[in-house]
């Protein structure tokens, strides 16, 4: 399965989610490759430090991402692609290559304005390809009993893009693209639980959508 993390808006938690998801998938016994589509590959470096057995690569151009994916899919169960906060080749590549796009998003009007054209592009793409790639919105930087997030959820519904029930809370331990999946203190465990919940939701939802897609 190829999972891409995307949103042309910067600083919405894409890399944090991508890194932690890749590590969790590895710790669950999967073979995982991580592709950092941001030039300089800062997040590939982080993955290398946390878990050298996750293959990490930096590929910023569409053809390179594509050929890397074709190569790595032979030997891996999951390929996680982290894209930078801008519109470009990488995002188009995701639409062509990924099985699932996770659009992480903060719950503010400004964030909605910036993400909307991207969401609409994906919807238009899906309309031509019988729903492929699947895509799901994930709210990030939320708070406990977050009223804004709740009303935002309602406001987003007309866009017709599935929204994960799981929200990724704003927690200090997630700062600096920190990996919390192997953390030992209580905050780490709380943040890791959000990411585990998201992952099980992704798995359930993508199975359901695939079954529906298969008729």
Ligand X SMILES: Nc1ncnc2c1ncn2[C@@H]1O[C@H](COP(=O)(O)OP(=O)(O)OP(=O)(O)O)[C@@H](O)[C@H]1O
Q: Helices (H), strands (E): how many in the chain?
A: 7, 7
13 binds ligand X, rule: CB under 6 A: yes
Instruction: State which of residues 37, 138, 174, 192 lies at the interface with ligand X (CB under 6 A).
Output: 174
User: Is residue 87 within the footprint of ligand X (CB under 6 A)?
Assistant: no
Q: Give dist(CA 69, CA 85) in Å, integer.
A: 21
At its nearest, how many Å lie between ligand X and the CB of residue 104? 6
Choosing among Mg ion, ligand X, none, which partner's interface includes residue 12 (Cβ < 5 to 8 Å by kind)? ligand X
* Residue 175 in contact with ligand X, rule: CB under 6 A: yes
Look at residue 1 and give the partner it binds from ligand X, Mg ion, none, a contact being a CB closer than 5 to 8 Å depending on partner kind. none
Contact by Cβ (8 Å): 9, 107: no
Give CA–CA dist 69/67, Å, rounded.
Answer: 5
Our finding on whether 14 is near ligand X (CB under 6 A) is: yes
For residues 5 to 24, the per-residue mask of contacts with Mg ion, x marking binding by CB under 5 A and - elsewhere, is: ---------xx---------
CB of residue 215 to ligand X, shortest distance in Å: 36
Nearer to ligand X, 41 or 133 (CB): 41
Roughly what angle, to the nearest 10 degrees, separates helices 89-97 and 62-72?
30
Residue 140 has phi, psi (to 5 degrees) of -120, 165
Phi, psi at 2, each rounded to 5°: -110, 115
CB 35 to ligand X: min, Å: 14
H/E stretch holding 40: none
Pick between residue 125 and residue 141 the one whose CB is nearest to ligand X.
141
Cβ distance to ligand X smaller for residue 171 or 209 = 171
Helix (H), strand (E) at residue 30: none
Give the list of residues 6+ apart from residue 72 with CB closer than 8 angstroms, or none: 33, 35, 55, 57, 79
| Contact between 85 and ligand X per CB under 6 A | yes
Q: Contact residues for Mg ion (CB under 5 A)? A: 14-15
Q: Contact residues for ligand X (CB under 6 A)? A: 10-16, 84-85, 140-141, 168, 170-171, 174-177
């Amino acid at each position: 399965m190829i999972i891409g993390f995307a949103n042309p808006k910067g600083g919405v938690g894409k890399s944090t989610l991508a890194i932690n998801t890749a590590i969790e998938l590895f710790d669950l016994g999967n073979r995982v490759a991580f592709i950092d589509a941001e030039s300089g590959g800062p997040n590939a470096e982080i993955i290398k430090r946390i878990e050298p057995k996750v293959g990490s690569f930096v590929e910023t151009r569409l053809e390179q991402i594509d050929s890397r994916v074709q190569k790595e899919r032979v030997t891996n169960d999951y390929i996680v692609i982290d894209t930078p906060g801008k519109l470009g080749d990488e995002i188009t590549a995701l639409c062509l290559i990924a099985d699932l796009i996770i659009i992480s998003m903060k719950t503010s009007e400004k964030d909605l304005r910036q993400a909307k054209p991207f969401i609409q592009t994906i919807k238009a793409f899906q309309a031509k390809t019988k729903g492929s790639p699947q895509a799901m919105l994930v709210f990030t930087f939320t708070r406990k009993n977050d009223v804004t997030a709740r009303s935002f959820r309602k406001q987003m519904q007309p866009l017709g893009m599935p929204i994960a029930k799981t929200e990724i809370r704003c927690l200090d331990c997630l700062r600096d693209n920190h990996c919390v999946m192997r953390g030992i203190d209580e905050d780490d465990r709380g943040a890791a639980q959000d990411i585990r919940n998201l992952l099980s939701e992704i798995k359930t939802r993508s199975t359901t959508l695939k079954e529906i897609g298969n008729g």
